[in-house]
Amino acid sequence: MSSLTDATKMHVAKCLSCPAKGNLGRRYECIVCGDSVTYCGDCYDEGKNVPSEKHKYYHPMKAIYNRDFFELYFLGEEMVNGEAPQSYKCAFCDELGFTAEELQLHVVEKHSGHCDAPKLLDILEQMNEQKKSTEIRCQEKSRGGLSYEVILAEPAPNVAVPKRPVTPGKNVSVEEIEQKLKAAEERRISLEARKMAEISIKLAKVEEATRKKDEITNEFITQTKEQLETKMETHVEKREAIISDMKEKLKIHAQEIEKTRETLEQQKANEQKAIEEKLKTAQALRDENIKKMLNRLKEHNTIKIAEIKTQNNQLENQKLEEKARIIENKLYTAEQNREKELLKKIEKAQKLERRAEVVRQNKAQTQDMEGQQSPIASSG
What is the distance between the alpha carbons of residues 268 and 262, in angstroms, rounded to a whole number? 10
Where does 58-153 have alpha helices with state H?
Answer: 67-73, 100-110, 117-133
Burial of 39 (0-12, 13-18, 19+ CB in 10 A): buried
From the list 150, 149, 108, the residue with the least C-alpha distance to 125 is 108
- E strand or H helix at 38, and its extent? strand 34-40
- E strand or H helix at 223, and its extent? helix 174-322
What is the distance between the alpha carbons of residues 257 and 283, in angstroms, rounded to a whole number? 39
How much is the pLDDT for 372? 74
From the list 158, 157, 107, 143, the residue with the least C-alpha distance to 128 is 107
How much is the pLDDT for 161? 42
What is the distance between the alpha carbons of residues 31 and 16, in angstroms, rounded to a whole number? 16
How much is the pLDDT for 247? 93
Beta bridge partners of 147: 139
What is the distance between the alpha carbons of residues 107 and 127, in angstroms, rounded to a whole number? 15
**For 317-338, b where at least 16 C-beta lie within 10 A, e where not — what string?**
eebeeeeeeeeeeeeeebeeee
Other CB atoms within 10 A of residue 363 CB:
16
- E strand or H helix at 28, and its extent? strand 26-30
DSSP output for 183-209: HHHHHHHHHHHHHHHHHHHHHHHHHHH
How much is the pLDDT for 338? 82
DSSP output for 347-369: HHHHHHHHHHHHHHHHHHHHHHH
What is the distance between the alpha carbons of residues 348 and 295, in angstroms, rounded to a whole number? 17
Burial of 228 (0-12, 13-18, 19+ CB in 10 A): exposed
Contact 38, 26 (CB under 8 A): no
Beta bridge partners of 80: 83
What is the distance between the alpha carbons of residues 338 and 318, in angstroms, rounded to a whole number? 15
What is the distance between the alpha carbons of residues 273 and 302, in angstroms, rounded to a whole number? 44
- E strand or H helix at 317, and its extent? helix 174-322
Q: What is the dihedral of CA 182, 187, 188, 189, to 10 degrees?
A: 90
pLDDT of the chain, 380 residues: tens digit per residue: 445 544 334 457 788 888 776 667 788 889 888 888 888 888 888 888 888 888 888 898 888 888 777 777 776 566 655 566 777 888 888 887 788 888 888 888 888 888 888 888 888 888 877 776 554 444 444 445 445 454 544 444 444 444 444 444 456 678 888 888 888 888 889 888 888 888 888 888 888 888 888 899 899 999 999 999 999 999 999 999 999 999 999 999 999 999 999 999 999 999 999 999 999 999 999 999 998 888 888 888 788 888 888 888 888 787 777 777 776 766 777 778 888 888 888 888 888 888 888 888 888 888 888 777 766 655 55
What is the distance between the alpha carbons of residues 254 and 246, in angstroms, rounded to a whole number? 12
What is the distance between the alpha carbons of residues 362 and 357, in angstroms, rounded to a whole number? 9
Burial of 153 (0-12, 13-18, 19+ CB in 10 A): exposed
Distances (CA, A) of 341 to 106, 198, 301: 148, 165, 15
